[in-house]
Amino acid sequence: METQCPFCSVQCKMRLTESGSGAGGEAQYAVEAKPNRASEGRLCVKGMNAYQHAVSEDRILYPLVKREGGFERISWEGAIALIVNRFKQIEQESGADAIGVYGGGSLTNETAYLLGKFTRVALRSKHIDYNGRFCMSAAASAGSKALGLDRGLTNPLSDIPLAKCIVLAGTNIAECQPTLMPYFTRAKENGTFIIVIDPRETGTSKLADLHLKVRPGMDASLANGMLRSLLDEGLVDEAFVRARTRGYDELKAHLLEQSVEEIAVMTGVPVDSIRRAASAFGKADTGMVFTARGVEQQTDGYMAVRNLINLVLLTGKIGKPGCGYGAITGQGNGQGGREHGQKADQLPGYRSIENPEHRAYVADVWGVDPNDLPGKGVSAYEMMEKVYEGDIRALLVMGSNPVVSNPNASLVQAAMERLDLLVVADMFMSETARSADLILPVTAYLENEGTLTNLEGRVLLREAHRPAPGEAKNDWRILCELAHGLGRGTYFRYEHAEQIFEELRVASRGGIADYYGITYDRLRREEGVYWPCPDPTEEGIGRMFEASFAHADGRAELIAVDNHWPAELADEEYPIYLTTGRVLSHYLTGVQTRRSHTLASRDFESFVELHPKTAKQHGLTDGKLAVVASRRGEIVVRCRITRTIRDDTIFVPMHWGDSQNVNVLTNQALDPTCRMPGFKVCAVRIRPFISN
Ligand code: SF4
């Protein structure tokens, strides 16, 4: 069978051939990488072992209901009836907005679309948001405001080796999207100057000609230093800026007030390095800037990305071969997951739920009165707060593990316990599922047909190849059954994923993320089509903004960005900065990769990475356990002492729950524009763990 890896936005292609049975009788597969245009025939260790979770004996095979503190099997009919009755009762008592829906960026486009429609048409609630709020919201908002639309990369991946200078800001591609690395090594072989911005040395920073080891949370300010240096050196492309952008005069005036020397002190990056980076980027004929969660998961993530897009625009490096901006999406469908309406403020096609014309268009496609569509809800973490406060009494979680992925996770865990009804649709007993009243078993990537949109904006079809084990169902089918139970089945008559996609095409038509020209037939024939693709006879657009930007006036928007400090600063009580991130073997909160025996054995527990100086100051030993504490809680993790990290910063990965859940420590403060939490920096203290 040919399929795609579910574990990141590259969506690498592979062939699986059944090769026997494991010790428990589960299927085993020989895995072979197959070329598609993004992966070029590569797979990383996650992809090679992705099937293992799908055949895991830990799969939940039947609907489960919690009784007397334990879970018992229940029929699908019984589970749906129970959920529907509780939803109806809660709606009667507290109104439709007392029911919330929490989605995920790994769901197919079809399920993401249907989840938004289910919430607004079947539940008639305004409360839907998803874990992509923690992944892409800063870059998505910044791209939309600066360029007029948000598509992860403005160029095809094949443009990367054409860039003469590349800035990799807060992105550890070597561990998160490893099969992209050859694009950058090819660039390097072509003589490209590579600048990495990261507080840590990583597999990615090994490529760097210049590594700016920025203090966590100071990326926006560092970009100001680079922009000021561009001005000083006369490296602004005035012709491009005057012809294709607006807001330059305000930005220039703001930059003239900046001092590179002061920014060097704030960011911990020497003046010479800031100037060298600006000079290299400004003087290169072609160049690209990439951001990822290191820049975006900040309480000023939106502004930090805007400032790095300013760098691209001021130098005229966009809309040409080897030039552009890219947000390296993390989740398997991080791009598509944010386009079809599972965000609190969004309808399909990237339409706004607050825009009357957009509401009317989508309501017409759905066959409902636009006045019946609810308004804008709140962001993912704010939903958790509403649960905690009792405003949301029932929650449906699909394709997500909010107890581990939200900041301030102890509050989120407490919130789950306060719900009158928690329904979790998952393959496994995740940390969130443990708190559920009902668990609904869903299909894995080998069993569920649907489309996903890779980090380039290329839509790909993933076919189903295995029957669902036990009584597991496709997530979109569960939504249809719930909608029928709620008396809204007339709006949810689908027998196949393709029927949902056909409706999605129409719902997205004329919107920013226009899929109208994309069909399953085309996807089978052409192996992927870029959006925007408004017509079935047209090719999608690979390189964006060659002639104009997507704003009504065709211009990109420059913006002046203030220097920001992180929401929480180190002090005497909590003297160290904590930053979080990923490791090669694991995906998201590890619900799936921790069930792959090969991946789990590579990294079977969390750790804290810290500098020898920090270890000495706090009496810590390599390989021994440490307690890391913030104002919100504490965790216990094993020390890895290394000189590859700043001595004022420690790093803990995000893939484990319970006593190793780093999000027990992280700060719930949100970016004011995109509502992204500041995962990447909070103040902590650390001490040796002493067992009783
Ligand atoms: Fe490819 Fe990403 Fe899967 Fe690795 S995790 S095989 S890079 S899709």
pLDDT for 532-569, tens place per residue?
999 999 888 889 999 999 999 999 999 999 998 999 99
Give residue-wise pLDDT tens across range 616-654: 999 999 999 999 999 999 999 999 999 999 999 999 999
358 and 317 belong to one structural domain: no
Residue 151: the pLDDT is 85
Give residue-wise pLDDT tens across range 486-535: 999 999 999 999 999 999 999 999 988 899 999 999 999 998 999 899 99
292 and 337 belong to one structural domain: no
Candidate of 8, 49, 106 to mutate for ligand 1, largest count of ligand atoms within 8 Å of Cβ = 8
Ligand 1 atom showing the smallest separation from residue 179 Cα: 7
Ligand 1 atom showing the smallest separation from residue 7 Cα: 5
Report the alpha-carbon angle 195-200-205, nearest 5: 35
Lookup: tokens for 490: 């007339």
Look-up: residue for tokens 């792959």?
Answer: 596
Give residue-wise pLDDT tens across range 278-321: 999 999 999 999 999 989 999 999 999 999 999 999 999 999 99
From the list 154, 106, 176, 168, the residue with the least C-alpha distance to 453 is 106
From the list 266, 176, 160, 273, the residue with the least C-alpha distance to 221 is 266
Q: The domain containing residue 361 runs over which residues?
A: 64-134+333-449+468-490
Residue 459 lies in a domain: no
351 and 414 belong to one structural domain: yes
127 and 142 belong to one structural domain: no
From the list 214, 280, 253, 289, the residue with the least C-alpha distance to 564 is 214
Residue 534 lies in a domain: no
Domain boundary pick from 327, 354, 378: 327
Average pLDDT, the chain: 95
Domain boundary pick from 54, 82, 98: 54
Residue 503 lies in a domain: no
Ligand 1 atom showing the smallest separation from residue 10 Cα: 8
Give residue-wise pLDDT tens across range 344-373: 999 999 899 999 999 999 999 999 999 999
Answer whether 0.90 is exceeded by the pTM: yes
Residue 664 lies in a domain: yes
235 and 291 belong to one structural domain: yes
Question: Which stretch of DSSP H or E encloses residue 82?
Answer: helix 76-94
89 and 177 belong to one structural domain: no
Residue 25: the pLDDT is 80
DSSP 153: B
600 and 647 belong to one structural domain: yes
From the list 49, 19, 13, the residue with the least C-alpha distance to 595 is 49
Ligand 1 centroid – CA 570 distance (Å) = 36
- For range 240-251, the mean pLDDT: 98
Ligand 1 centroid – CA 587 distance (Å) = 10
310 and 364 belong to one structural domain: no
108 and 32 belong to one structural domain: no
Ligand 1 centroid – CA 13 distance (Å) = 9
- For range 127-136, the mean pLDDT: 91
Give residue-wise pLDDT tens across range 180-190: 999 999 999 99
Ligand 1 atom showing the smallest separation from residue 178 Cα: 7
246 and 343 belong to one structural domain: no
180 and 319 belong to one structural domain: yes
Ligand 1 centroid – CA 12 distance (Å) = 6
Residue 542 lies in a domain: no
Smallest CA separation from ligand 1 atom 4, residue: 44
Question: Number of folded domains in the chain?
Answer: 4
Smallest CA separation from ligand 1 atom 1, residue: 12
Lookup: tokens for 466: 């295995």
Ligand 1 centroid – CA 332 distance (Å) = 9
Smallest CA separation from ligand 1 atom 6, residue: 47
Candidate of 32, 36, 39 to mutate for ligand 1, largest count of ligand atoms within 8 Å of Cβ = 39
Ligand 1 centroid – CA 43 distance (Å) = 6
Q: What is the CA radius of gyration of the chain?
A: 24
Ligand 1 atom showing the smallest separation from residue 180 Cα: 7
Residue 307: the pLDDT is 98
Name every protein residue with a CB atom under 6 angstroms from any ligand 1 atom.
5, 7-8, 10-12, 39, 43-44, 46-47, 177-179
Give residue-wise pLDDT tens across range 463-478: 999 999 999 999 999 9
- Maximum Cα–Cα distance for the chain, whole Å? 72
69 and 125 belong to one structural domain: yes
Ligand 1 centroid – CA 5 distance (Å) = 6
- Looking up residue 474, the CATH number of its domain turns out to be 3.40.50.740
Question: Which stretch of DSSP H or E encloses residue 71?
Answer: strand 70-73
Ligand 1 centroid – CA 445 distance (Å) = 14
Residue 69: the pLDDT is 72
**Least confident piece of the model among 306-310, 439-443, 538-542, 583-587:** 538-542
Task: Write the secondary structure of 305-331 as one string of H (helix), E (strand) and C (coil).
Answer: HHHHHHHHHHCCCCCCCCCEEEECCCC
